[in-house]
Chains A and B, each alone.
Chain A
Amino acid sequence: MRKLVFLLLFSISIEFAFSQGTAQDSAWIRENYFKTETYIPMRDGVRLWTTIYAPKDSTQKHPILMTRTPYSCAPYGKDKWRNFYAGYLRYYVREGYIMVTQDVRGRWMSEGNFADVRPFNKDKKTNNDVDEASDTYDAIDWLVKNIPGNNGRVGVFGISYPGFYSTMAAASAHPALKAVSPQAPVTDWFMGDDFHHNGAFYVMDGWDFYSSFGKPRPQPTTIGPSGFDYYTHDNYKWYLETGALKNILKLTGDTIAFWKELYQHPNRDAWWQARNARVALYDIKPAMLVVGGLYDAEDCFGAWHVYKALKEQSPNTNSHIVMGPWYHGEWASNDGTHLGNVQWGSNTSAWYQNHIEIPFFDYYLLGKGANPGTPNATVFFTGANEWQQFDQWPPADTKDQPIYLQTDGSLAWNTPTTKNSSSEYISDPAHPVPYTEDVHFSRTREYMDDDQRFASRRPDVLTFETPVLSEDLTLAGPVTADLLVSLSSTDADFVVKVIDVFPDDFSYTKPGPASVRSHDNGTAYPMGGYQMLVHGEIMRGRFRESFEKPVPFKPGKIEEVKWAIPDVAHTFKKGHRLMIQIQSTWFPLVDRNPQKFVDIYTADDSDFTKETIRIWHDADHPSKIILPVLKQ
């Protein structure tokens, strides 16, 4: 989510480069809007810094659209204007929306103390019982009462961490709040967003983010924290050489409170459960539009699971979801045509902005346009490269169908008939499987659909694939990995990757951007035989029975490890193959499992050991991947 800041800046600069109208537009907003910076008092007396862009037009009343953020209301200063014209937000200002940004409690210019993913308090008793929902309530209350010419209707939206604050806004229950759009909302940092997936620590994103974001901010300020100074810009090397997690903690000392704190919570204990945003999602009043990216490396989980929590815990809410083929926040960018080497055939971001988000807020806040309709799910199917709309997700026509790993390396719909059959590999923490090819400093966005051929060529990655498909195969919903494994040691991680293998003669009619690889001589990436990652997910084996109470493996004993891979929406076209890859490291995306049952956050470098991992695929131990097959 830290990346989002950069992403927005980046897209702004792109827009500057391409949009000749920017100068005039920027003059337009200065002529037609007021900018106000103010402190809004909360019920406990703490004041939150708020920046308000309100139209000068007083011939009609205007709605309020607010984002609450830990990433700042920048630019600060009455004469410094945010460039709404850089992207699609220009639409909202043209329509006269009152655009509000607020620094959340304890960040940047706001007073008070910041708490990471501050737990939701459903039993507030006194004015000192504050949380992000009450802060949103108090902010909305102040805004509708104090901004001249507002129409009494408020919407809240935000991407990533601001997505979390959007979820909390929805739980504020202020009657003026009519529409909320949590986008890639940070939701559960243990189960699937940013910091952990199924208990496995996403150390690279976590450290990259918190080594600056997590620094203390004793006084309100307009100046952000500095980043960490890495001795090498090769992240694989840095994390491998830095070694055990305790060595990273040493780099911060006590300065980064949250980093220290999360080391004390290796399991999904009460501390983590309180930081699951879904606990706030009961009896939600405003209309909800959840937005997420199918290829979002950060908060894909959050988008799906906020929507699912709404459907289960707040069934009467008017809840929509839209999921596109996007990296983190890409739906707010100007270009949604491709990710890395894979193309989507159209500008999916522009389509979303024009057909989903703008009509949603216009209807609920401006009273303009058609009713977005009954609750629904709008999902882009990669592979087929088309939008589809369903009245529920997963769609009613989806049926779970297990596909089984076979002795010969194939995948088939029938259970294996062989006896006593397994595949093994040695997982070596000294040579973990890279999460992507090439050398990088920052974690790439593109790893989410990158070519996996580099991995299938390693001896510590197992591959299973179907024959060439004779007809399209569409998946719509969560995939479940259900493996029968035995280990030479007492713990292991398991990564299952769902992959679309393109035909050998595949190529795009319009080739993508030239490869940046130094020895590819600027030619387009070879797409024939491309192994497109559709989605992968990791499971830390010790949590196979419970995320609260991890249990060791018994060496040599065959045990079941079952976990959910976030929902996919993908058509494996006729002529393609479906491939499953299995591996036990995904580095440095995910920290290395020492491969023995010790507390990983306090483990020593000497605790990390090679182990032999066996995946069973016989009649008595049929490992399988449960696929949500959509009948079409």
Chain B
Amino acid sequence: MRILHRLILPVLLMPALAQCQRNTNEGDFVKNNYDKQEVYIPMRDGMRLYTVIYTPKDKTQPHPFLMERTPYGSGPYGDTLYRRSLGPNRTLMHELYIFVYQDVRGRYMSEGQFEEMTPARDDPHNANKKPDASGKQTDESSDTWDTVDWLIKNVKNNNGRVGIYGISYPGFYASASLPDAHPAIKCVSPQAPVTDEFIGDDANHNGAFFLLDNFDFDNFFDIPRPTPVKHYSGNLFRANYNDAYKFFLNLGPLKNANKPEYFNNKGKIWNEYMAGSTYAGYWEARNIRPHLKNIRPATLLVGGWFDAEDMFGSLRTYEAIEQQTPNNDNHIIMGPWTHGGWAGGGWNRFGILDFGQNVNDYFHDIETKFYDRYLLGKDSGALPEAMIFETGTNKWKTYNTWPPKEATPIKLLLMENNRLGSPLPPPTNALVPVTIRKDVSYDQYVSDPANPVPYIDGIHGGRDNQYIVTDQRFASQRSDVLFYQTDPLSADLTVTGRLRPDIWLSSSGTDADLIVKLIDVFPDTAANPGYQRLVRAEVFRCKFRNSYEKPEALTPGQPAEIAFNMNEIAHCFKKGHRIMVQLQSSWFPLVDLNPQTFVNIPTANESDFQKATIRIWHDAAHPSGIALPVMQ
């Protein structure tokens, strides 16, 4: 969600502007075809939420609703100012839906107090939720319920059907509409929904704090708003840096972010984050997934393979609905997008990758069919369960399950001499068999918090979202990064599903981060010869290896098994390419520094940050590797 506010301008607005010039003027289309009204809708606890409603001038037929609830403002505010375009895509705007934008509780023009990722309450029933012990009787689910109830009763010429959508933080509000949804809600599309901020979205991945994004985001998002406003002014503090690595290295321990020149203890959310150094309590309460039971509206999850913020949320929200409401009409579409990249007009390439098509055309067609089917009753055939863009081959594929059942996990083992291989006999002839050493075998590196591994090469101010696909040669050239690679593949190898690294690690210290990167190494004959294209990477904070709630120190020198799930990939490693795994213990300043001593990191002192010698074991007693779901 973090960057969306900024990203949405170039990504969404620019294609929109281009289209405006192409076809008369979309802004005129909105004005010519829609009436705008702004209303306060009362919630059950008396608070009123500011809501902007664009109603088709056409009264020849009733229209369905498409609503986005947002913390980013539902402006432009005022009777005479119209949005330049409405809804998720142009086709839908031309089909004349009633488009509704609502400021969530406590943001912009709405009343009440904002709460970060409002914890959901399962009980009692939405229609008559009673106050809890603290006197609170609402959550985002009840606010959506109350809004929808008001809309269908008060907006003229509606057909009684409501769809909810949103990208990023609004994606969370879309997910939150699902538990015990109002009967009028027929379909919901959470897109890159913020879902679990400790395990895999914006704030933390596997307990490791995403420093760069959150420092930047909270600086504007965390501005106090005592009364409703149309515009938030400025930031909490000024931090101009064109070299984020330098800035955050100089910043020092995480607690220095609360120095007077920065958050100065004025960031409510920032302080909540800092107080929540394990999953227990704060973060766990904000995980929407356990509440996604007995879901009734049809769902379409949308996510990007190159989304640096909420890829986890798209994949895991889909999974939670599948597991907890197995019969739900639940779909997922994953494409080669950055955060929200599917919402713009064109998406043909990213970094060095060229998809050979505008992948957004495919998506907008699916998206339109989804809403039309459930809200307009247009039956254009059922959507496939999973619509997946496969990188490497650049093809859309559909599956009846996600991840596909056809994939079999194959474990690739780390070996001495930088080799990565499959034990005898290799289950696929793309791989050369290897045997693992019986005697002690490991590689080691010194992880130095004073010289952390950059998350990307070059000099960058804000987070450069291409880091997720860029060349990793700068890292394999470092002595604090280990790499293991297969021989050139003798046949294409398609990996579709979740990756599961299982690494035996020991440290001279008592905590460590482990970053696992899966890389496609292009052949020397490719257009980008020798390019080490990052396919998927993830960080794991080792103190959480047994429990996210109860961290445990590493015992110096003793190998510990670090096994975790990474987000899915759908990628074809082509014949002649190599598969590479890189391992490192910092990813800076994307992720905050692990002091490498077992301490509470948000309150750690400079002196707690220590060099550590990290060993990665790869012998028979400690067989480190990564399981890849290979399509047969």
- Is this pair of chains taken from one and the same complex? yes
- Interface residue B25 (Cβ < 8 Å from any Cβ of A): no
Do B461 and A526 have beta carbons less than 8 Å apart?
yes
Q: Given the complex, which residues of B lie within 8 Å of A236, measured CB to CB? A: 473, 477
Given A231-B524, A439-B530, A529-B459, does the pair A518, B477 have CB atoms closer than 8 Å? no
B contact face: mostly helix, strand, loop, or mixed: loop
Q: Which of B57-65, B102-110, B186-194, B450-458 contacts its partner?
A: B450-458
Partner of A426, one of B351, B479, B529: B479
Interface centre among A237, A457, A458, A526, by most chain B C-beta atoms within 10 angstroms, is A457
Q: Which of A59-67, A118-126, A267-275, A430-438 contacts its partner?
A: A430-438
Q: For the complex formed, measure the closest distance between the CB of A326 and the CB atoms of chain B, giving whole angstroms.
A: 26
Report how far A547 CA is from B240 CA in the complex, Å. Answer: 50
- Interface residue A205 (Cβ < 8 Å from any Cβ of B): no
- Interface residue A111 (Cβ < 8 Å from any Cβ of B): no
List B residues 451-488 near A (Cβ within 8 Å). Answer: 451-452, 454, 456-461, 464, 466-467, 470-471, 473-474, 476-481
- Interface residue A528 (Cβ < 8 Å from any Cβ of B): yes
Closest residue of A by beta carbon distance from B481:
A431
Given A439-B473, A458-B478, does the pair A519, B451 have CB atoms closer than 8 Å? no
Report how far A517 CA is from B530 CA in the complex, Å. Answer: 16
Q: Given the complex, which residues of A lie within 8 Å of B461, measured CB to CB? A: 526
Do A519 and B243 have beta carbons less than 8 Å apart?
no
Q: Given the complex, which residues of A lie within 8 Å of B466, measured CB to CB? A: 518-519
Do A526 and B243 have beta carbons less than 8 Å apart?
yes
Q: For the complex formed, measure the closest distance between the CB of A582 and the CB atoms of chain B, giving whole angstroms.
A: 13
- Interface residue A454 (Cβ < 8 Å from any Cβ of B): yes
- Interface residue A103 (Cβ < 8 Å from any Cβ of B): no
Given A457-B451, A518-B470, does the pair A237, B530 have CB atoms closer than 8 Å? yes
Given A234-B473, A457-B451, does the pair A520, B246 have CB atoms closer than 8 Å? no
Report how far A461 CA is from B481 CA in the complex, Å. Answer: 15
Q: Given the complex, which residues of A lie within 8 Å of B457, measured CB to CB? A: 437-438, 454
Q: Given the complex, which residues of A lie within 8 Å of B524, measured CB to CB? A: 231-234
List A residues 439-493 near B (Cβ within 8 Å). Answer: 439, 451, 453-454, 456-461
Do B464 and A519 have beta carbons less than 8 Å apart?
yes
Report how far A139 CA is from B478 CA in the complex, Å. Answer: 54
List A residues 221-247 near B (Cβ within 8 Å). Answer: 231-234, 236-237
Do B451 and A458 have beta carbons less than 8 Å apart?
yes
Report how far A458 CA is from B446 CA in the complex, Å. Answer: 11
- Interface residue A194 (Cβ < 8 Å from any Cβ of B): no
Q: For the complex formed, measure the closest distance between the CB of A430 and the CB atoms of chain B, giving whole angstroms.
A: 8
Do A458 and B479 have beta carbons less than 8 Å apart?
yes
- Interface residue A504 (Cβ < 8 Å from any Cβ of B): yes
Q: Given the complex, which residues of A lie within 8 Å of B243, measured CB to CB? A: 453, 504, 526, 528-529
Do B474 and A437 have beta carbons less than 8 Å apart?
yes
Do A459 and B530 have beta carbons less than 8 Å apart?
no
- Interface residue B357 (Cβ < 8 Å from any Cβ of A): no
The 0/1 profile, CB within 8 Å of A marked 1, for residues 528-569 of chain B is 011000000000000000000000000000000000000000
Q: For the complex formed, measure the closest distance between the CB of B613 and the CB atoms of chain A, giving whole angstroms.
A: 10
- Interface residue B34 (Cβ < 8 Å from any Cβ of A): no
The 0/1 profile, CB within 8 Å of A marked 1, for residues 81-116 of chain B is 000000000000000000000000000000000000
Report how far A461 CA is from B467 CA in the complex, Å. Answer: 24
The 0/1 profile, CB within 8 Å of A marked 1, for residues 12-45 of chain B is 0000000000000000000000000000000000
Do B446 and A459 have beta carbons less than 8 Å apart?
yes
Q: For the complex formed, measure the closest distance between the CB of A583 and the CB atoms of chain B, giving whole angstroms.
A: 11
- Interface residue A500 (Cβ < 8 Å from any Cβ of B): no
Closest residue of A by beta carbon distance from B459:
A526
Report how far A529 CA is from B456 CA in the complex, Å. Answer: 17
Q: Given the complex, which residues of B lie within 8 Å of A232, measured CB to CB? A: 524, 529-530
- Interface residue A428 (Cβ < 8 Å from any Cβ of B): yes
Q: For the complex formed, measure the closest distance between the CB of A622 and the CB atoms of chain B, giving whole angstroms.
A: 23
Given A231-B524, A526-B242, does the pair A439, B446 have CB atoms closer than 8 Å? no
Partner of A431, one of B246, B452, B454, B477: B477
The 0/1 profile, CB within 8 Å of A marked 1, for residues 230-255 of chain B is 00000000000111011000000000
- Interface residue B448 (Cβ < 8 Å from any Cβ of A): yes
Q: A236-B473, A459-B478 are in contact. List 8 more A-B contacts (CB 8 A).
A: A232-B529, A234-B530, A431-B479, A451-B459, A458-B451, A519-B458, A519-B467, A525-B459
8 tightest A-B contacts by CB?
A232-B524, A519-B466, A431-B479, A459-B451, A428-B479, A234-B530, A459-B448, A528-B242
The interface of chain B, by Cβ under 8 A from chain A, is 241-243, 245-246, 351-352, 446, 448, 450-452, 454, 456-461, 464, 466-467, 470-471, 473-474, 476-481, 524, 529-530
Complex A-B: 18 CB contacts under 8 Å: A232-B524, A232-B529, A233-B530, A237-B473, A428-B479, A431-B478, A431-B481, A438-B457, A453-B246, A454-B457, A456-B451, A457-B245, A457-B452, A458-B478, A458-B479, A518-B352, A526-B243, A529-B243
